[in-house]
Amino acid sequence: MTRTTAGTEEPCDAVIWCTGFQPDLNHLAPLLPRWRRGEAAVQGTRSVDEPRLYLLGYGDWTGPASATLVGAGRTAKATVADIASRLHELP
């Protein structure tokens, strides 16, 4: 569930949170214990601490030209493929 700006709740399958160029993951601190120390442990773009969470465009694992649309697109496509493959693994 996610809360809308009108104060109502809506079901959702995914949340995309865009923070800009300065990382601000404080709202995810309960899911990312290491964030309290200023780091987020990942394998690729997938969180080690919370495997349902992916962090794109954060840290040095984002790939070449990640600050550009082309570079961000590459990372996004690879992440979508990873998520899709994991969904197929679910019972």
Which pLDDT tens digit goes with each residue over 12-34?
777 776 656 666 777 888 888 87
What residues does 2 pair with on adjacent strands? 10
Per-residue model confidence as pLDDT tens digits over 53-90? 888 876 655 566 666 777 778 888 888 999 989 888 76
pLDDT at 91: 64
pLDDT at 52 over 70: yes
CA atoms of 23 and 17, how far apart (whole Å): 11
Question: Could you state, in order of their start, the residue ranges of all structural domains in the chain?
Answer: 2-89
